[in-house]
Amino acid sequence: MPMLRKAPALHRAVIHLNDAAPEKIQTALQNTANLLAALGPETQVELVAHGPGIAVATDPATEEFTAQLTGLLAAGVALCVCQNTMTARRLTPTDIHPQAVVVASGVAHLVTRQTEGWSYLHP
């Protein structure tokens, strides 16, 4: 007879990135990697970048952090970027990481996800 196991809680988290400083971006990426490692691969994580934080998804940043970001995307993390920010900075989809998902508003997405039960982290 198999042992009964309690199903693990499904964890879902949005990570708020609104800073362009390389050390802040690095911290957000590292926190995301640690989160997945600790809670398991089924954990759903969205890195939500808006305002200056969109740097994580634009060319220079993606070059600098390519390896880590690529690994996170391959592990199922979603990189969500803010259309409002793109519009304000005259960025088009060709300017941002090809795997990024565009959301209408970064802050609205962070609020909506919490309404749906997701946890929130501001690294």
Which H or E element spans position 51? none
**94/115 with CB nearer a second copy:** 115
* Per CB under 8 A, 110 contacts a second copy: yes
How far apart CA 72 and CA 56 sit, in angstroms, is 13
Question: Is the Cα dihedral 103, 108, 122, 120 positive or negative?
Answer: negative
Fill in the per-residue mask, 75 to 104: x = in contact with a second copy (CB under 8 A), - = not in contact: ---------x-------------------x
Provide, rounded to whole angstroms, the least separation between the CB of residue 85 and a second copy: 9
Nearest alpha-carbon partner for 79 in 31, 21, 37, 17? 17
Q: Which of 20, 39, 73, 75 binds a second copy (CB under 8 A)?
A: 39
Is 54 near a second copy (CB under 8 A)? no
